[in-house]
Amino acid sequence: MTITQIIGLIVVLGIALFCGFLIVKNGKKNDLVKWLLLFIFIAIAFTWIFACGTYQNTEYYDIGMRQIGLTDIPYLFYNAVQFTTDKICFLLALGALYGVLSKCESYKKLVSNLASKLKGKEIITVLVTSLLFTVLASFLNQTFIALTFVPFVISVLLTMKLDKITAFSTTFGSILLGLLGATYGGEAVVLFNQFLGTAVNTAILYRLIVLVVGFILYNFFTILHVKKVVKEKKSNDLEDDPFKVEKVDKKAKAWPVVVMLVILFVFLTLSYISWEDSFGLTIFNSFHTWLTELHIGEIYPFKLILGSFAGAFGTYLDLTLNSTGLFNAVAVILIVAILISLICHVKLNEFIEGVGEGCKKMALPIALFVGSYFLMAIAYSNPVVPALNNMMFKNVTTFNPFLTTLSALLSTVFSQYFALVTVTVGPYFVGTFASSVDIIHTIFTTMNGFTTMILPTSGLLLIGLSYLNIEYKSWIKYIWIFAIAMLVILLVLYTVMTYI
């Protein structure tokens, strides 16, 4: 690194720290946007300081400076939207579903009755719900599927007079916790195995340990917070629920909506767990083949009705892997929204109004999510991370878990799309330290979950905080002790795996 680059780096980091201080001190309005823009600024500045590079297997190649200029920004935005298309559609479909449900008296009755029955059982409700979301995120190959029932659960928790931090930590926070301890699911594990050829059971025991320890520690702090909220009885955060339930019709029946939501849960859960790859179950593949091959003469009715993208349960992964990503889930959610409106006698005008209102309420979460992928687009088109990795490991001949942790942290800070991490620095680690694949796998997947849970570059974190109108500072104030404790536990685990 030249003297000019060192000075530039110091200046950039100094400005970043100063901007961060100003955000913490004065940044209540548009707090999340400011934090995200700060990291985007740092990423752009890095392209003016460091040369870009790439790994071909274990060999590093310097490809020179690739500074980002003004005319590069629209192209980067295009890349961000391209990589998030299925997730944007999913969030819009989710907004449409809950916009319609908010017009449905049966749904209002369900939320009201459930909140009333669970009142006084706040701790057990929070623990069971957190466990469900954590396990789902740990097993689902598309984390966004776990978001399907988050608005419903948040409405119940806030109606119970719990605060929005509790609602967030129980739902979004638990999903992020599931990524920290991803076992058979989570995009990080799925993509690491796909791109680097590791097996589904690689380091599964260690990730399971992280999941269990993380869940216990995380919910220890959650219980303390819930007890405080229940004791003070001051929570009135219902207004921050985008789909809050009011004016319940006592004559309405909740069971029609319950049936439809249960069907939706079962269908989506079955669809987005990798049954064959993770557990060797081929029953869903066989059933899909049998169903689509049923024919009357030369007509295949189910194949025509389902469409060409309707794969077997467990095969919906990601568009870059030549599969359908979340689009199948989008279709099912919209069908359920239509069926619920028909069953609950929602008028056409109310249906259209509900869809419009629901999509509008998802606008800010979607914008922030796309912004997080704008950061990824910078790392994709201007690969500075491999250059930074090469600086750290240039003279390293034996595996170092702490340097690897730092590399994993840098990689995932600038790229929420884990496939980019695996193809940029993954080959170097797997090729150079082949005897340490288990620990490498564990470090990269758990650090991906850790940064996703903590940093304002995390698309999922930004979606959740913006959904409930929570400042990033408030989340850090809530989570910082857990974050430090969990980081220490992870470093101890990495040390044990490497040296003992």
Residue 26, class by beta-carbon neighbours within 10 Å (0-12 exposed, 13-18 middle, 19+ buried)? exposed
Residue 51 sits at φ, ψ, to 5 deg, of: -70, 155
Amino acid occupying residue 223: I
CA distance 179 to 138: 6
What was the pLDDT predicted at 306?
Answer: 77
Q: What is the maximum span of the chain, computed from C-alpha positions, in angstroms?
A: 76
What was the pLDDT predicted at 388?
Answer: 86
Amino acid occupying residue 301: P
Strand partners, 296: 299
CA distance 175 to 318: 19
What the block records as the tokens of 120 is: 């006084």
CA distance 151 to 165: 14
CA distance 255 to 465: 31
Q: Are 312 and 285 in contact (CB under 8 A)?
A: yes
Contact residues for 409 (Cβ-Cβ < 8 A; gap 6+): 447, 450, 451
CA distance 437 to 226: 40
In this structure, what is the dihedral angle of CA atoms 407, 409, 410, 411, given to the nearest 10 degrees?
Answer: 80
CA distance 397 to 278: 34
CA distance 249 to 103: 12
Provide Rg for the chain, Cα atoms: 23
Q: How many CB atoms lie within 10 A of CB 201?
A: 11
**Domain extents for the chain?**
3-274+314-499
Contact residues for 38 (Cβ-Cβ < 8 A; gap 6+): 16, 19, 20, 23
* C-alpha to C-alpha distances, 351 to 92, 95, 358, 461, nearest whole angstrom: 15, 12, 10, 30
Q: Are 425 and 55 in contact (CB under 8 A)?
A: yes
Strand, helix or coil at 117?
helix
Which among 118, 117, 136, 138 is positioned nearest to 126, based on CA atoms? 118
Entry field: residues in the chain: 500
Please give the average pLDDT of every successive group of 10 residues along the chain, which has 500 residues: 59 63 62 88 85 86 85 88 90 95 91 91 95 93 92 94 94 94 81 78 89 95 92 79 80 87 92 82 81 81 75 62 68 93 91 93 94 89 87 87 91 80 85 89 90 92 94 94 95 91
Strand partners, 56: 59
What the block records as the tokens of 442 is: 């564990």
Q: Are 58 and 431 in contact (CB under 8 A)?
A: yes
CA distance 420 to 11: 28
> Which phi-psi region, left, alpha or beta, contains residue 458 (left: φ > 0; alpha: ψ -120 to 50)?
beta
Q: Are 94 and 362 in contact (CB under 8 A)?
A: yes
What was the pLDDT predicted at 318?
Answer: 47
What was the pLDDT predicted at 322?
Answer: 39
Q: Are 365 and 80 in contact (CB under 8 A)?
A: no
